Every structure is written in C-alpha cells, then in structure tokens.
A and B are shown apart, each in its own frame.
Chain A
Amino acid sequence: AQSVAQPEDQVNVAEGNPLTVKCTYSVSGNPYLFWYVQYPNRGLQFLLKYITGDNLVKGSYGFEAEFNKSQTSFHLKKPSALVSDSALYFCAVRPAGAPGTYKYIFGTGTRLKVLA
C-alpha cells in the first residue's frame, strides 16, 4: 500500500539552531512530493514541492527540502529556526501516473516547537 510516514510526532529545537522534519514515503513510480504547514486554527499552507530536477528544493520562509530517491525520503530543513516556525508540518505525496493521480497521500503531521 502506498503511504507516507512522518516518524516524529514532535520535534523540539532551540531558536537559531538548524531544524529537520523527516518524511519517508512508499509509492510506485516517481512521485511528486510536498510540504505544507498548518498554524493553529488555520488551513494548510503550501511550503514547497519536488517534481523533478535538483534534489534540493527551496520554499517559503527559508525552508528547503532534500529529495533522496534511494532512501525514499523528503526531509524538510531550515538552517536557523525561528519561534514563529512553531506549527504542524505535513508531508504529502502524489503518486505519479494513472489511476490515482487525483489523490494525494498525507502524513500524520509533525509538530515543530521552537524554543526561545
């Protein structure tokens, strides 16, 4: 079965330190990969995506993610965390090809807490 895993329910990091939020996936073909962020009582906001090309993609608010095909991972990173980065982060995968191209698979979310 196709799936997305975010192995950490919560990640704590000190302000100014680098952060990593992990995501691994299990889908067939070459998937499209996404990161979304959700602030309290808000909808999900798009951060970045990998479709093809350079394995390191840059997104909003200084975030970046690295696609690793051999490890089937798409970890979210930021060189220096801010308290305002504290939120719930979702990894999502859109399996390539048809059928099923209409459906996106979301991870269960990782809560990032940046400590001042």
Chain B
Amino acid sequence: NAGVTQTPKFRVLKTGQSMTLLCAQDMNHEYMYWYRQDPGMGLRLIHYSVGEGTTAKGEVPDGYNVSRLKKQNFLLGLESAAPSQTSVYFCASRSTGDTGNTIYFGEGSWLTVV
C-alpha cells in the first residue's frame, strides 16, 4: 500500500550542485505535482503534469526542471542548487474525474543547500 513515494528523504547539497528528486506513485494517477513548503508560505506549486510525457509550470518554477517519462514517475531536478532552494519538497498525485478530486501526498524530501 505504498501510495506516493519520494526519494531521497533527506539531502544536503552544496551551492551549484545538481540533484534529482524522484516521485513514484502506484495508484495509476494521471496528474502529478511537485510542491515546496516553506515556513509561513504554505505549499507552492513548482511544476505539474497532467499525463505521461507532459509537464507544465506552476507558481515557482524557476531553478527547477521536471520530467514525466513514465506515468508512475515524476522527477524534479535542480541543475544548480541555490540556498533559496532549501525547503521541504512534496510530490502529490490524483486521478481524473469526479473521484479524482483528492490529492495524495508523499512523505516529503528535506533539502538543505549550503
């Protein structure tokens, strides 16, 4: 009963390094999302995908790239990490239609950029 799984859970990066966060869901959901959570700012949408092979920008896309090569996976990349990208990152997914209104979240990935 995995749901939405994110790896890694914790990571420390040096400024300028690159990394990829992996999100995998086993619910056959069409829509997937990457959010970042910062104190006092709630959740902000970075990028999202409405299906395999498609991606779109959210509220705060700068400095991030994404890919959805397989339906079950949604990757978030940081090409050149900056301290401003220190945050908690959440992946989420949902299905389509009336039953697909509820978003399901992963457990989060804590990223620190020093």
Residues of A within 8 A of B (CB): 9, 32, 34, 36, 41-46, 49, 51, 90, 92, 94, 102-104, 106-109
> Is B1 in contact with chain A by the CB < 8 A criterion?
no
Whose C-beta in chain A lies nearest to the C-beta of B91? A43
With A42-B108, A102-B31 known to touch, is A49 a contact of B102 (CB < 8 Å)? yes
Interface residues on B, range: 20 to 34
Q: Are B101 and A32 in contact (CB under 8 A)?
A: yes
Which residues of chain B in 37-77 are interfacial with respect to chain A, using CB atoms and an 8 Å cutoff? 40-43, 45, 48, 50, 56, 58
B56 to chain A: closest CB distance in Å?
Answer: 8
Contact of A41 among B50, B90, B108 (CB under 8 A): B108
Q: Are B103 and A104 in contact (CB under 8 A)?
A: yes
With A46-B102, A49-B101 known to touch, is A108 a contact of B40 (CB < 8 Å)? yes
Q: In the complex, given contacts A43-B105, A94-B101, what are 15 additional A-B residue pairs having Cβ atoms less than 8 angstroms apart?
A: A34-B102, A34-B103, A43-B4, A43-B107, A43-B108, A44-B92, A46-B102, A49-B101, A92-B103, A103-B58, A104-B33, A104-B45, A106-B42, A106-B43, A109-B42
Query: Which residues of B sit under 8 angstroms from A108, Cβ to Cβ?
Result: 40-42
Q: Are A44 and B90 in contact (CB under 8 A)?
A: yes
> Once A and B bind, how many residue pairs between them come within 8 Å at the CB atom?
49
12 pairs of residues in contact across A and B, judged by CB atoms under 8 Å: A43-B105, A44-B90, A51-B101, A90-B42, A90-B43, A92-B103, A94-B101, A104-B33, A106-B35, A106-B43, A108-B40, A108-B42
In the bound complex, CA of A41 to CA of B109 (Å): 9
Query: Which residues of A sit under 8 angstroms from B108, Cβ to Cβ?
Result: 41-43
Q: Are B48 and A102 in contact (CB under 8 A)?
A: yes
A71 to chain B: closest CB distance in Å?
Answer: 21
In the bound complex, CA of A109 to CA of B107 (Å): 17
Whose C-beta in chain B lies nearest to the C-beta of A46? B102
Q: Are A42 and B107 in contact (CB under 8 A)?
A: yes
